[in-house]
Structure 1
Amino acid sequence: MPWPWRRKTRRTLARIAIEGPIAGGTRKRVLKAIQQVEQRECPALLLRIDSPGGTVGDSQEIHAALLRLRQKGCRVVASFGNISASGGVYIGVAAEKVVANPGTITGSIGVILRGNNISKLLKRLGVSFETVKSGLYKDILSPDRGLTEDERELLQNLIDSSYGQFVAAVAEGRGLPEKRVRAFADGRVFSGAQALELGLVDELGDEERARRLAAELAGLNPDRTRPTEFGAPPKRFAGLIPGRSRLRALVQGLSLELGWSGQPLWLWRP
């Protein structure tokens, strides 16, 4: 005989929010939340995405977990918020249905990899690196020198492979031919209204519309069903301090530039 909480949660609409850049911390939190949704046998999941994207591997792991959840019978609806670009799109196309606001910033399908060449600055400061390496490409994207042509070609092949994976996932998730996806998957961004015309989203609407759609797909009464939050990020008192959000955004941008240097990213960088 099943536990009483199991009978109850089988009628529960779950909600998971993905906000900000997608990296290791977000992956761990979201994967744990998805596991809880599966364990409690929730019939539907409202996935709220407000993210410019992030690292490739973390986005792929969340995408794969959502597909497994759907295979268990959970109906997944994605709601794109202010922005759902690049890796946010990759995660979103794992949903059965996607709802976006008319003015949502989305798209940016593609891959970016950046390094920091500060060789001129180091030279002015009288700083030089001594490098001992096991192979020709072991210090690729080292900040004390530029890329060679061979290195650039090697990295371009890496980017092309990651890009192909992205296009294939969008094509499969949205039921579009890869050729059609490649026609607009050049890094450009779209409004939600434009994304609807391209087939990236199913309909225009706010999170409330996405909630009702998820409930309807699961056979729940949308007028009586309210979402239960899973994996909510911890609230920080510092976030209440005036001007703190701007400082956090500045620090976050600097962290992305330095910490993710040399990594292939599914990230929109305006």
Structure 2
Amino acid sequence: MYNRPISLFILLIVVLCLSSCFFPPIDRDKIPGGPKIGIVEVKGIIDDSKEILKNIKRFAGDKDIKGILIRVDSPGGTVGPTQEIYSEIRKVSKKKKVYVSIGNVAASGGYYIASAGERIFANPGSITGSIGVIMQTVNVEQLIKLLKVDVQTIKSGKFKDTGTPFKGLTEEEREMLYGVTRDIHEQFIENVARARGLSVDKVREIADGRIMTGRAAKELGLVDEIGSIEDAVEALWKDTGMTGEPKTMYPKKTPRSFVRELLESMSDDVEDRLGLKKRGFSFWFLSPYNTEIE
């Protein structure tokens, strides 16, 4: 009774392994040499900068890549990776032109990254802005009491368990966290002002977490042009001195077998379902909004 499902599972694994022998690894980079525009995508929640930094550096060192376009479609993410990507774009911009194209959303950390580009293109209805910092923690203290569970804490200092879900914040802890939030927020404001050539006071006026459309952002000086990714590519191609039809290139990914592609996809789906990718106790450049037109 139980042997049949096990046998079917083993058979499936064998078939997948054999299929990898007949299906070659997927190689997404088969574009011939010559001048091109390199496109680096920043998609989804920003919780790691490694892959994006690697792609930017790779294009920066490629003589055939005449300019780099950062395509942002992200509501933001964690502070550290966001600042690392911002800094790398600013650094590379001194050697090569780096433009930005905003897709559906480039809010909070997404806009932080976008602001580093020399020119920013956005659709009129793109959602952007949300210049702010957020930190959230759950307090289950009352639930713990209801369940009659006793949580024991041993700590080296009075702030060491700040943010634990097992107790509420003290006024002193709350003020400490506000101080950290204000500092990170000020860094956000200063970097946007520096990159966009705006005064700190002007950016601070709209740095209250509000979101806005691409059209409104252009009026405020946060975006340069209203246009699609194709418009951004054409402008960058022309501004780098190229003529004719623009040629683009996405980062080369390490060739992977059919089986590995399938297994990684299954793994990502499981993580999403179990909530393993959800944010924990940390400071975020993150917009709570997501918009879709149906």
Shorter chain as denominator, the TM-score bin is: 0.7 to 0.9
Alignment length (residue pairs) = 252
Unaligned segments of structure 1, at least 5 residues: 1-7
Q: How far does residue 109 in structure 1 lie from its aligned partner after superposition?
A: 0.4
Q: What one-letter code is carried by the residue in structure 1 that aligns with 2:285?
A: W
Listed as ranges, the matches of 1:1-270 within 5 Å are 11-24=35-48, 27-41=49-63, 42-72=65-95, 74-221=96-243, 223-230=244-251, 237=262, 251=273, 254-255=275-276, 257=278, 260-270=279-289
SS at match of 1:106: strand
Q: How far does residue 255 in structure 1 lie from its aligned partner after superposition?
A: 4.2
SS at match of 2:144: helix
Q: What one-letter code is carried by the residue in structure 2 that aligns with 1:12?
A: K
Q: What one-letter code is carried by the residue in structure 1 that aligns with 2:58?
A: Q
Larger Rg: 2
Partner Cα distance (1:152, 1:142) in 2: 13
Q: How far does residue 217 in structure 1 lie from its aligned partner after superposition?
A: 1.6
- Distance verdict in 2 for CA 1:250–1:168, change over 3 Å: same
- Distance verdict in 2 for CA 1:179–1:79, change over 3 Å: same
Q: How far does residue 231 in structure 1 lie from its aligned partner after superposition?
A: 5.7
Unaligned segments of structure 2, at least 5 residues: 1-32, 290-294
Q: What one-letter code is carried by the residue in structure 1 that aligns with 2:68?
A: L
Partner Cα distance (1:84, 1:165) in 2: 18
Partner Cα distance (1:109, 1:248) in 2: 32
Please give the root-mean-square deviation of Cα atoms over the aligned residues, in Å: 2.4
- Counterpart for residue 15 of structure 2: none
Tell whether the 8 Å contact from 1:16 to 1:232 is kept in structure 2 after alignment: no
Q: How far does residue 67 in structure 1 lie from its aligned partner after superposition?
A: 1.2
Identify the range of structure 1 (156-165 vs 114-123) with the bigger mean alpha-carbon deviation. 114-123
Identify the range of structure 1 (41-50 vs 100-109) with the bigger mean alpha-carbon deviation. 41-50
- Distance verdict in 2 for CA 1:248–1:15, change over 3 Å: farther
Percent of aligned positions with the same letter in both sequences?
36
Q: How far does residue 133 in structure 1 lie from its aligned partner after superposition?
A: 0.5
Partner Cα distance (2:124, 2:265) in 1: 30
CA deviations 1:187-224 (Å, max 9, x no partner) are 01001111111111001011000101111221112x42
Q: What one-letter code is carried by the residue in structure 2 that aligns with 1:13?
A: I
- Counterpart for residue 4 of structure 1: none
Partner Cα distance (2:219, 2:61) in 1: 37
Tell whether the 8 Å contact from 1:108 to 1:188 is kept in structure 2 after alignment: yes
Partner Cα distance (2:124, 2:133) in 1: 25
Q: How far does residue 130 in structure 1 lie from its aligned partner after superposition?
A: 0.4
SS at match of 1:215: helix
Partner Cα distance (2:196, 2:149) in 1: 51
